[in-house]
Amino acid sequence: MLPTRILGKTGIPVTILGFGGVPVGDLYERLDEGRAIATVESAHRAGMTLFDTSPHYGNGLSELRFGAALRRFPRDSYVLSTKVGRHMNPRMPGSSVGGPGFAGGVPHASIVDYSYDGTMRSFEQSLLRLGLDRIDILLLHDVDVWTHGPEMADQRFREAMEGSYKAVHELRSQGVIKAVGLGLNESDTTVRFVKAGDFDCVLLAGRYSLLQQDALDEFLPLAEKKGIGVILGGVYNSGILATGAKPGAHFNYVPASPEVMDKVARIERVCEAHDVPIAVAALQFALGAPTVASVILGGISPDEVERNMTAIKTEVPAALWSDLKAERLLPETVPVPA
């Protein structure tokens, strides 16, 4: 069995490893329907209880596949997270069926909408795709510079706080969701939201990893102070911490720079000295911060799920973290797994 942690002040227990639904939304490649559903099922059977998806992933395809898989299990046997900020229009097919980066998906147009009504519509559509009557965690999705650009960021922030924020809190008061939170790609934008409102949890992608710790100085201490549960995604920084410094490796969705390649190669050498794959070190490092309840990883096959389960259970010696700090590859003050 996987260990569980309580997600901040929510009281919700989640396994330290969860399953992320981006790949089963046909990210980068079209997946066989049966294999995609079997992958989600295998994550549940392996003992994961936290499942995260979004309407954005394949314009609803990830949610459809999550629903087909998870409805086969008792509803109380898993914690389901999805997001708001986009709803789908089936009568206006988009030119890109799943959005940038997605090879497939549902042929519906994705409409960015952080209004109250748009958020309620997004939530209702998610329930229909999932085939459920409640969702455990609902996150305001992609309200950041990364997604909308600097010229639109302030406007999207206002829209979300005036619309989506009110809607999700109303849903929580009705008992159809248990927790409200944020699903963002930037630690500074996350801090802005956390200071402006009341959030139970945050899913932060790509900003706290073995390679970069943007969230260390301000966001993580603030989350601890406010009792906000933290879920981390993107702990491999879009690939390089999974594969190592190999030709063609990507860092945060673009080809890695020579500086990043050099640093990762140095991290790899320390990991190799302790006979620990860099992917294992990267996964387990993310769980060292006291506010982090879970790390989510995606997968496109049951074999990948099995490899992730092996990685989370692999023993990592404390000396590895000490050596990374001694080589100045990690800050001296960064928390590491006990």
What amino acid positions are annotated as catalytic residues? 52, 57, 83
* Contact partners, residue 48, CB within 8 Å, separation at least 6: 2, 15, 17, 18, 19, 78
Rounded Cα gap, residues 235 and 72, in angstroms? 29
Q: Please, which contacts does 2-5 make with residues 24 or more away whose CB atoms are closer than 8 Å?
A: 2/47, 2/48, 2/49, 2/309, 2/312, 4/49, 5/293, 5/294
Q: Token pair of 265, please?
A: 């190669």
Say if residues 54 and 84 touch (Cβ distance below 8 Å): no
Q: Please, which contacts does 117-124 make with residues 24 or more away whose CB atoms are closer than 8 Å?
A: 117/163, 118/87, 118/163, 118/164, 119/84, 119/85, 119/163, 119/164, 119/167, 119/168, 120/167, 121/87, 122/55, 122/84, 122/85, 122/86, 122/87, 123/84, 123/167, 123/171
Say if residues 104 and 61 touch (Cβ distance below 8 Å): yes
Place of tokens 């497939």: 104
Say if residues 111 and 89 touch (Cβ distance below 8 Å): yes
Q: Residue 163 CA to chain centroid, in angstroms?
A: 23
